[in-house]
Structure 1
Amino acid sequence: MILSFLKHKVTRVKDHDFIKDRFVGMGKCSAIRGWLRSFFKQFYGSVTKSDYVALRLGFIMTHCKANPKFNFHKYMIRALEDDFKKVVGISWYLWLFVVVFLLMNVNGLHVYFWISFIPFFLLLAVGTKLEHIIIQLAQEVAEKHVAIEGELVVHPSDDHFWFRRPKVVLFFIHFILFQNAFEIAFVFWIWVQYGFDSCIMGKVAYIIPRLIIGLFIQVLCSYSTLPLYALVTQMGTHFKKSIFDEHIQAKVVGWALHAKKKTAHSGGTNDSSQDGPATSTSAFKGIQLSQINQNQQS
């Protein structure tokens, strides 16, 4: 009876769907195969059910081990909504990029045609990187374990991301969508203001590819890159503040401000001997809060 139970519980790592779909072997050739697989995978079935289940369990076992019923999907959507507010915003460096290329728009250079390739290639690089992070997580488990008891658990880490910062991916997506939106809007603005045959519009041979590239970027980013981003960026070392509900976030912020004011007030009105316990308590709370804030950064 015990042996039959163990048979069902202990399984070979490579028999798991997550490993079978992502494991590419070891060595230099396998690394090249892994990057090639990641590149093409972003165009079809970028996130499978086994990927989601494995990454969800890895997140819960790392950050919410005491709460196995944690609603990971709700947290992931809330985190994406918070990040989307940044994606639709406009930063000074994005406008600076636009101004530089406006000044470089000299007749004969076709700057607007060549600039459209920047978000195109950058989007392919981001999608490939996100897919490769999933492969790296699968490789780590496959290399460390031959067989495993129970569910397969991956180990999130910032080491898999560019510069060990998951937020770099958000920066690139922000730039891609802004630049692509600017490209498409600029074409239609010139069309409405000056007409399709105007000299400002340029040659048709350069306009059509720009519009095709812009449409391709929008479709691929919506269909593949953003869902990949929403899931894979949760595989960093730290969780995001979206792990808390809005009312809990408000309470934490309110408590932090209260503790800060109390510490400042106590330090300014009482001497050190009288305020030893109160100051120590407030300082301890401040340290706890800084640790929570550090944990919330991705």
Structure 2
Amino acid sequence: MYTIGIDVGGMSIKAGVVKGGKIINKLSKETNRNGGMEVLVQDIKVLVEDILVQNNINIEEVNNIGIGIPGVVTNDGGVTCVNLGLKNALIAPMLQDSFKGSKVSIGNDANVAALAEFSYGSMKGYDSGVMITLGTGIGGGIVVNGKLITGANGIGAEIGHMMISSNYFECNCGNNGCFETFCSATAIIKYAQKLVEEGRKTTIIEMAENDINNITAKMVFDSYKENDEVAIEVVDRFKKYLAMGLANIINFIDPQVISIGGGVSNASDIMLEGLSEKVKQYLPFKEGNIADIVIAQFKNDAGILGASAL
């Protein structure tokens, strides 16, 4: 039997046929961000039908069609995603009518990425795990005994919005002090820009062709490897608050493993160095074992794999 995973993003919708934890075929199409629920449902339906035909698979051979989507997914399946014009949209029930031979499920994209890592990747073999994705913002997912923990209302695991400390700029959610304002790629860029604007000399701005708007997190990490003082300050600040955030997760959940994904995880050699020791500094019990801190295995395929495992 097969499963199908659908990864809905702001730019594209990707569909994949999965068997035995491996993607055997993928299709994608551009996301119509202005089409609303009806257009999104139709696009997903067409992708599923096309991928079935391409692989000579009948719908009766598909156990589950799972969908990961960047938004809040309540326990009754209602999806709210401002960027896609969705408000309490019942996507799964509409698709279920078209694919009655399979179960149709839907979940938050960060949650399904965590499920992918737990089922097939960096958290496989553990009983409990937390995944955090360090990208433009910070996403998260909690898995215990193979089940996603999403909370009473389906809005749990918003790890990026736990409060860490006061910051010099506010989060997009309107609060000040959110984890993602310290440890996302956006946060790294903003702090580097701040130091450049204060007149600090750095190779980062040279890489950015003297335009602070061109600064990327990769430039900061590359400059760090060259012992650039500004880059060292930015990365040290990032790691300090990352350690705080991970300590909060450990204090609250005490998982066996924490997997870090997202674009920032590409600098894993820098990020992981001494990280466990830094985390322990913020724990009430500084001796003994803590969660294994690992790098997520799947990149662009996490959404498809995780959705297929819903």
Structure 2 length-normalised TM: 0.24
Structure with bigger strand share is 2
**Does 1 or 2 have the higher relative contact order (CA < 8 Å, sep 6+)?**
1
Structure with bigger helix share is 1
Bigger radius of gyration: 1
